[in-house]
Amino acid sequence: MFKIITGSLFIYIFKEASRKAYSNNRREDDFLKNVFKYFRFNLPHTDTSDDFLRELPLDELKH
């Protein structure tokens, strides 16, 4: 769950205009290597993050 939420937040942290722009940028080898180097996990697909967050009850984010 942490990886999916963090991956979703990266869309905003990296100031991407859309999920598609974020998906295009995250396919770059240097980007993927740097994310793994600093965070030690691979980013989830943006559709996975979107589906997960749409189903996640807001109360779960408060914990």
Number of helices (H) and strands (E) in the chain: give both, helices first. 5, 0
Which position has the higher pLDDT, 24 or 48? 48
The parent domain of residue 56 ranges over 2-61
pLDDT per position as a tens digit, 5-30: 887 787 778 777 777 877 777 777 88
Distance, CA of 38 to CA of 54 (rounded, Å): 27
Residue whose structure tokens are 């589906």:
51
Residue whose structure tokens are 């990886």:
3
Residue 37 confidence class, pLDDT cut points 50, 70, 90: very high
DSSP category for residue 41: S
Quote the number of domains for the chain. 1
pLDDT at 50 over 80: yes
Distance, CA of 52 to CA of 4 (rounded, Å): 8
* Encoded tokens for 46: 């943006």
Rounded to the nearest integer, the mean pLDDT of the chain is 81
pTM (global) more than 0.85: no
